[in-house]
Amino acid sequence: MTTGPRVPRLVAALTVLASVAGAALLAHTGGNGASGVRMLTGWHPSLPLPPVAIGAGFIGAHAFAQEFRFPSLAAAFGGVPRRFGLLVAKLVVATAVALALLVAVMFADASALLVGYGDIVDLPANWATSMTGWALLTIGCAWTGVLAAGVFRHASLGLAAVLTVPVAVSPLLGEFATTGAARRIAELPLRMQEVFPMPWPSGAARLLSTDLGPAAQPVGQALVLSLLALLAAYLLTAAKSRAR
């Protein structure tokens, strides 16, 4: 996935360059109201996802590219089996690659901003929580690429599935977020704190509302729904192929 084919290494290099360019453009235009963490990821408003998430999704989709690259071998070897253990191994490797790519991107962006524009990055007080959210978004895109490529047997379709999340699925959830049911879901952590009067960690209800509420993060919710749908499709096709 990483040491053999040169495509993932090329994608990683292009991802870092695109992220640095996006961070420099944000800094040149005064940030456009972007947070410090968003500037460190180079996520320009013109992009549906940060470059690191798109790059991680492409590398994740390429995880199955080698198995499906030579269809002429399928007649001799009976096709590529969809084994759950193989999927878990690819997801673990995709997670490590996504985190390493995120660290490389943020280091490159911070260095470029420091050299070109000085100390302009203002990290929020909850920067650790924000970093965790960005890491989960990057890992989720990588997993989406892996699962979609495994289901559709093509790396380009895996990348298309990653880009479909913010372009198509997220707006639908954004419309759902305006309904009363969505607001009740977003208020669920606060209701739980009232029903179960136990010592909750400081800010736990607010954190759960932000992370689990569809109205707060439609992109994250769309990513979770897409992952569940792709995982179900992968397991279903694996069960069918095993039955044959």
Flag whether pLDDT at 54 surpasses 90: yes
Instruction: Compute the distance between CA of residue 81 and CA of residue 238 in angstroms, rounded to an integer.
Output: 7
Q: Which of 3-7, 116-120, 187-191, 199-203 has the highest mean pLDDT?
A: 116-120
Q: How many domains does the chain have?
A: 1
- Per residue in 180-229, pLDDT (tens digit) is 554 554 454 455 445 555 454 444 444 444 443 333 467 777 888 889 89
- DSSP string across 57-93: HHHHHGGGTTTTS-GGGHHHHT-----HHHHHHHHHH
pTM score, two decimals? Answer: 0.78
pLDDT value at position 188?
46
Q: In 10 A of CB 164, how many CB atoms?
A: 16
Nearest to 39 by CA among 140, 155, 127, 170: 127
What pLDDT is stored for residue 216 in this prediction? 43
* DSSP-derived secondary structure letter, 121: -
C-alpha 221/C-alpha 227 separation (Å) is 10
| Average pLDDT value for residue range 25-42 | 77
| pLDDT tens, position by position, 147-175 | 998 888 787 888 888 888 877 776 666 66
Q: What is the residue range of 113's domain? A: 5-243
The gap from C-alpha 49 to its chain's centroid, in whole angstroms, comes to 8
Q: Is the dihedral of CA 71, 73, 74, 75 positive or negative?
A: positive
Q: What percent of the chain has pLDDT over 90?
A: 24
Is the per-residue pLDDT at 12 higher than 90? yes
Number of helical (H) and strand (E) elements in the chain, helices listed first: 12, 0
Average pLDDT over residues 81-108: 90
Contact predicate 108/19, CB 8 Å: yes
